[in-house]
Structure 1
Amino acid sequence: MSSPNLSASSALPRLLIVGGSGRLGRLLRHAWAGGANEAPQLLWQARAGRAVAESDLIFDPLSEPEAYLSAIAQADVVLNLAGVVRGDAAQLARNTDLALAAVAAAKGKPVLVASSAAVYGRAGAEPCAEESQMMPIAPYGAAKAAMERALLGASGVTVLRIGNVAGADALLGAAPTLEPRQIDIFPAGHGPLRSYIGPQALAGALGHLVRLVATGQPVPPCLNLALVGPVGMEALAEAAGLEWTPRAAPDGAIERVELALERAQALGLVPDHPTTADAIINDLRGLEELGA
């Protein structure tokens, strides 16, 4: 890929984030506040009625193609966070529609598309590598896998299989409740083990990745993105000071989903040392200092 022309006013690439009003988008806004975490020049998209800031670009990515083209004309790279998490098959299929719309509107500019570790389904003891077969179980994972298949062969596209993001996940991102949270405990004595990443670490990884693709550096078409080593959900609950109660993991519960991260490490996106529950929680709590 040839090097795109970056904005003349700054060496920082211009990044259009589509889906900037969702839970993950809001976390990234705070993580990038003040120019930290390798922040590029940021352009945020939101749909009507969901703007977070006055500077947000307001349009629907599927029904307003001209506005989409106008927004992308201001950017060097597109990050598509827009997607559907739950719903029926037709609603979940919008994940594919949104990703294809981003690629079509980009007209050859680099596009980063958020996928999910859910495409791997029931993982085994070994970390899931990008070349592993996608075997999703839940409808959301199946929808993301279908999205990825629709993008195969598209030029300039990098699919990001993101692990659990602290603050956007079901445990740490859930609304406070009066009752303690229930966490499945498996026969080995631990809760669900997942590859996690804090929002500030994710912002740093994305900022670095945007610089790479904006300057034409070679990047694989698919990347796992998380921190090294799975973290137990009960350990996260303890580190966060959450009240929780154990329950026996039911049949069919997924015990472990760990992502292989050699590709991300080779690009300098994430460190090679294992993370901890305390580090994940400290990352999330650090957003409070940035006004999250």
Structure 2
Amino acid sequence: MKILKVLVLGATGRIGSVLRRSWMQGNTADGVIWQARRPQAGPGWHVFDPLSGQEVAAGSKALMQAAQGCDRILCLAGAIPGRQQDLADNTRLARAAILAGAEVGAGVLLCSSVAVYGAQDGVLDEASALRPVAPYGQAKLEMEQAGQALGQQLGVAVTALRIANVAGCDAILGGWAPGFALDRFADGTTPRRSYIGPQTLARVLWDLTQARDLPPVLNVAAPGAVEMGALLDAAGLAWTPRPAPPEAIARVEVATGALSAFTRLEARDSLPEHLIAQWRSSAA
């Protein structure tokens, strides 16, 4: 089977760095073009900002040139909370990727977030109601909607990837500090959330860039959910329990049945010790 050529936008972020390391170690990165805003060491880099330059069209031209010959565009680029970024850039970057996809005939994968579901309890599949409660989740939902509309208009296959908590890039492991407090419910449990390890995510994303006939939306997570207290315990990070308030959600889990049609998922992928091992390996 032909290996499809991939352009990765936003390749210097935390997820992009994990992808590059993992894909190169797996000898799958020969056909990958990596986008950065500043010069980087190593092969395969194209340096440009898709949204800036002397005018927007200049950035778009550089993106079109980088995308030539590519079969897939994976858009990791985006604005995140806490960095004084305009969250509307998520939609602008998605549009830029889709316009490039239309120009070169490439499918586009947009990195969204399970934040689009908001604080709903239970197991959420791709057809569940979308109720973002924070500006970031709202921005990702607007990106998804604008991306699907533009893709349909231009005849570009667009898939929004609703990525769960990535171990180490999350508010628990990534946000831990001495004195960290965590909700604990009356039954002694702590909140359960969907997670995915960095290396598992890299493998899953590679499989998705090579897949045909992807649906418009996919949840991206390891099967099941992990208890946050167990995750901190596995990492040896101390935490202080606090009574969970009435509005606290005990479990937010996304279904992965649709994802399993395109990649291999294993129950161990959501074990706390497995997630911690992947986090530490990716940080080494």
The question of a shared fold, defined as TM-score above 0.5 by the shorter chain, is answered with: yes
Aligned match of 1:3:
none
- 1:194 paired with 2:193, answer yes
Q: Structure 1, residues 94-118: CA drift from partner, whole Å, max 9, x if none?
A: 1111111100111131111000000
Separation in 2 of the partners of 1:73 and 1:237?
Answer: 44
Q: Tell me, what secondary structure is at the counterpart of 2:276? A: helix
Q: Name the counterpart of 2:108.
A: 111
Deviation string 1:244-267 (CA, Å, 9 cap, x unpaired) is 222223454443210011101122
My pick for the range that moved more, 106-115 or 149-158, is 149-158
Matched length? 270
Aligned partners of 1:12 and 1:40 also within 8 Å: no
Instruction: Tell me if the contact between 1:195 and 1:258 (Cα under 8 Å) persists in the aligned partners.
Output: yes
Greater length-normalized contact order (CA 8 Å, ≥ 6 residues apart): 1
Correspondence for 2:255: 260
The equivalent of 1:95 in structure 2 is: 90
- The secondary structure found in structure 2 opposite 1:78 is strand
The one-letter code of the counterpart of 1:238 is D
- Letter paired with 1:248: P
Counterpart check, 1:44 vs 2:42: no
Match of 2:127 in 1: 131
Task: Provide the residue aligned with 1:147 in structure 2.
Answer: 143
Q: C-alpha offsets along residues 137-186 of structure 1, whole Å, 9 cap, x if unaligned?
A: 11101111111111224231111001111121122223x74x23222223
1:170 match: secondary structure:
coil
Residue in 1 that maps onto 2:160: 159
Structure 1 pair 263–40 and aligned structure 2 pair: CA distance change class (3 A): farther
Residue number in structure 1 paired with 2:81: 86
Find the counterpart in structure 1 of residue 55 from structure 2. Answer: none
Find the residue that maps to 1:75 and give its secondary structure. coil
Query: What's the CA shift for 1:89?
Result: 11
Is residue 16 from structure 1 mapped to residue 7 from structure 2 by the alignment? Answer: yes
Pair 33,285 (structure 1): closer, same or farther in 2 beyond 3 Å: farther
Match of 2:234 in 1: 239
Give, in angstroms, the shift of residue 270 of structure 1. 2.3
Q: 2:41 aligns with which of 53, 56, 75?
A: 53
Which range moves more in the overlay, 103-112 or 81-90? 81-90
- How far apart are the structure 2 equivalents of 1:129 and 1:39? 31
Q: Which sections of structure 2, spanning at least 5 residues, go unmatched?
A: 53-58
Q: CA deviation at 1:47?
A: 1.3
Percent of pairs with identical residues: 43
Question: Residues of 1 paired with 2:83 and 2:47: CA distance?
Answer: 26
Equivalent position SS for 2:86 = helix
The change in CA–CA distance for 1:123 and 1:71 in structure 2 (over 3 A counts) is: same
In 2, Cα distance between the equivalents of 1:90 and 1:34?
Answer: 32
Give structure 1 stretches of 5+ with no counterpart. 1-5
By how many angstroms is 1:54 displaced?
A: 4.5
Aligned counterpart for 2:278 among listed residues 263, 283, 288: 283
Cα distance, 1:66 vs structure 2? 0.9
State the 1:39 CA deviation.
5.1
